[in-house]
Amino acid sequence: MAELLAADLHLLSTLHDQVLRESGAADIALLLEQITADPAAAETAIDALGPEDSGSLARALAVRLHLSNLADERERARAIQHEQPAAPDADFGDELWPAVVSATAEGTQEVLGRLRIHPVLTAHPTEARRRAVATAVRRVADQLARHDDPRVGAAERWVARRRLLEEIETLQRTSSLRTTRPGPLDEVRTVLTVFDQTLVRAVPRLYRATEVALVGERSGAIPTPVPAFVRFGSWVGGDRDGNPYVTADVTRQAMALQAEHALAALLDAVERVGRTLTEDESDTAPSRALQESLARDAVGMPDRMSQIRLASPGEPHRQKLLVMAERIRATRAGLTEHSYTGPEQLLDDLRLVQESLQQAGAARAANGELQHVIWVVETFGFHLAELEVRQHSAIHREALIELIGQLPGVHDAAAAADDEAFLDGLATDGWPEGVVARSDRAAEVLDTLRVLEWLQSRWGQRSCGRYVVSFSQTSAHLVAVRALARLAVGDRPLRLDVVPLFETGEDLHGATAVLDGWLPLRSTQDWLAGTGRAVEVMLGYSDSAKDVGPAAATIALSEAQSRLVAWAGRHAVGLTLFHGRGGSLGRGGGPLHRAVTAQPPGSVDGRLKVTEQGEVIFARYGDTTVAQRHLERMTTAVLLADTAAVAERNASAAQRYADLAATVERASREEYRRLVETPGFADVLADASPLEEIGELRLGSRPVRRSGAESGRSLSDLRAIPWVFAWSQTRANLPGWYGIGSGLSAVGDIELLQRAYREWPLMAALLDVAEMSLAKSNRMLASLFLSLGGRSDITEQILAEMDLTRSLVLDVMGQSELLERKRVLAATVTARAPFVDALSRLELRALTHVRTDGESTPWRSVLLLAVNASAAGLQNTG
């Protein structure tokens, strides 16, 4: 397969060079060649460029990296299609997926019945590409596939080559920088392209692959044993924590957009399958139930039914599918006469046809593509993804103080807003008459809860019912949402699943105490009675790592999960842990499947809910084949995590290396806090990185800082995402490894650490992420960036910890070089390194000019172009 990747890279690079030469940029094409062949000589040439030529080089490097990413994506898809592992160092090959499913065969229904894979797509601003750039890259991919199709002749291949040149020229001339900041609904539309292009096809393929693993050649000939175990969530248009642009009306419109795309996909699927069900009634007799259903349709829509019968005489199963298509159209248009009231009605119709075909002996027709449509409805409903709301606990408290202050006899509204018993009374008994929101912020909080109720009445309870509370630090922070909801919607039915989010190291440690205070409340008990005692708890990876460093956060998260599992067991609660992981190395990134199988025993229990954000969404779900494989690997990991062997391995290793973990946690946290608490540290980051300029890239609708301020140097105010993004640009990648060297050094026993790495998956996952983060760093460039901060003491501290961490990570792994055992990944990083390093040099020069010459310097645009381009090369930006 490697030769095909090399051929793709050679063709795309050759065509890009031709485009540059034809546009009069032969010097840039020559410099690109020099960067690869002789990086040292290229450094001198780059340092001699003026701002205009530097900008041209940055744009060309961005295109070259986008094309390289495209070639890698094609290679991954090819590896999957040829049933080979994507890499020799991959953790799960193709043979493992059916083996794991087959291993559960004795208890298949029980295992699959509780299985739930639940990715949640977020709008966190880390996808640096404009939608126009991403679309242009996709058109290049389409023409490259056409060019490589072995079925076409020379003439067709020549046409594809011409079109490739045209599309690469368009990509080269498309601005990589956004001129306006996208709004929340723009972000919704961007994410919806993933559902349209890949997910509605990848998910039924996943279910079918599971079925094949279980029943082999009988797949498609018997009723499926595989339920629809995937659900998608979305924060896009619902996450208002720190984003003033996400309003109640935006949330309503976001769901309207989702529903439109869901119904469009269902209409397409129903019509497509309906066209194939041409079985004649003389050979495939309809069931009595189907005949009666069609008779009712003839009464309800006589004109349309007459047309359908005329077009499909004697084909009752096809007729019923065409009726369904008509009703879906009515649902999309909001026409109540013929529309479905919900996806359950559509499922009833589909199963009616399926059972009729089964009774008539047409088993393949019953359990083939028709089953795919059923799976799509079960997975996506009419809402596509479950839209989740998130808000900061401080916003709720502020609204409550205003509202409680209107209650007679309350003398201290702030104290009442912190009293969970008082709030529980409001949630269960209701509010007195006359309490109204007087400020815009309080009105918005209440309107958001009213929108949840409206959406559920329009699109069903699954559409929008989870409410994530950021910085849940007391039980009052949780019951506050129910108290506010009671005022907003009164006694009207509302499914409201309050999800606490524990983010900092301290919050993780105190999570069970918060839940202990929340659980006995009447409002909580009433809610639990309606959910089967199911509770969801979200764990924040990015803020915990930013708070205490990657090693301490990893260990704290593991320990918190163990405590939460024990808590759930004590209280007979069905616990789902929601992992707020990012794609970046400083936000819990790295191979997701390895992280899942490293979790403490009992913490998975057949359920995986995890955030997917920014660049990761398109990397994992941008291609149907890759998306299917990613979902398969998630499913495999969840099934593996529940096996006795894995649970015993993780439990015994955690106990065996508990003292080691405590030492690593303490020493790494102390070293990390010593750095970030150094006076002036925030200024160093601001001066040595494009931190202040990240907002100008207009990556997303949400402000860089929680307060919404455009500037300022408070680490507590700075979001974890731009924190990671800024460090990646300095080439230090500090959030992915800082403090780990000090933690390992404190243990002082290399052989013990080596055993822990081999035997304890949590330690292996931690060091593997650190290894990748260090591999994408560059010590020399990092020192040059850090020198801009003017604090040699801080620079020396960071570089010393980098050297220590690199040395000890290699010693523990038993390697002489980073990524030594990950050959494919190493080759990818090495291939990009000359281009990324060249961009870093451009960025360093531009940043120096911006810091010394002021904002009006022409180097400012060079800086933004270089930052945007390096994001494409580093691929773990935040």
> What HEC string does 104-115 produce?
CHHHHHHHHHHC
Strands of 353-399 (E only): list them: 386-387, 389-392
Question: Residue 609: beta bridge partners?
Answer: 118, 578
CATH number for the domain whose boundaries are 248-380: 1.20.1440.90
∠ CA 415-421-425, nearest 5°, is 110
**Percent of the chain's residues with pLDDT above 70:** 91
pTM of the model: 0.90
Stretches where the chain sits below pLDDT 50 are 84-96, 125-126, 584-588, 708-712, 878
Q: Is residue 465 a contact partner of residue 429, using CB atoms and an 8 Å limit?
A: no
Q: How far is CA 51 from CA 27, 177, 362, 756, 864, in A?
A: 15, 16, 70, 51, 12
From CA 530, how far away is CA 782, in angstroms rounded?
A: 54
Chain centroid offset of residue 200 CA: 17
Identified catalytic residue from 16, 66, 118, 124: 124
Q: Radius of gyration over alpha carbons of the chain, in Å?
A: 28
73-108 residue pLDDT tens: 888 778 776 654 444 344 444 444 565 565 565 566
Instruction: Determine how β-strand 466-470 pairs with β-strand 497-502.
Output: parallel
Residue with tokens 């999957």: 80
Tokens describing residue 191:
């994410």
DSSP 16-48: HHHHHHHTT-HHHHHHHHHHHH-HHHHHHHHHT
Q: Residue ranges per domain, the chain?
A: 248-380, 388-580, 654-874
Please report the pLDDT score of residue 613 as a whole number.
80
124 catalytically annotated: yes
Residue 246, exposed/middle/buried by CB under 10 A (0-12, 13-18, 19+)? Answer: buried
Please report the pLDDT score of residue 619 as a whole number.
78
From CA 585, how far away is CA 825, in angstroms rounded?
A: 15
Q: How far is CA 822 from CA 489, 582, 764, 772, 817, in A?
A: 55, 22, 14, 10, 11
Please report the pLDDT score of residue 839 as a whole number.
95
Please report the pLDDT score of residue 108 as a whole number.
65
Please report the pLDDT score of residue 105 as a whole number.
56
Tokens describing residue 747:
């243990």
From CA 275, how far away is CA 273, in angstroms rounded?
A: 5
Please report the pLDDT score of residue 545 as a whole number.
86
Phi, psi of 117 (to 5 degrees): -110, 125
From CA 833, how far away is CA 30, in angstroms rounded?
A: 18
Chain centroid offset of residue 784 CA: 33
From CA 352, how far away is CA 324, in angstroms rounded?
A: 12
**Residue 240 neighbours by CB under 8 Å, 6+ apart:** 246, 247, 389, 390, 391, 448
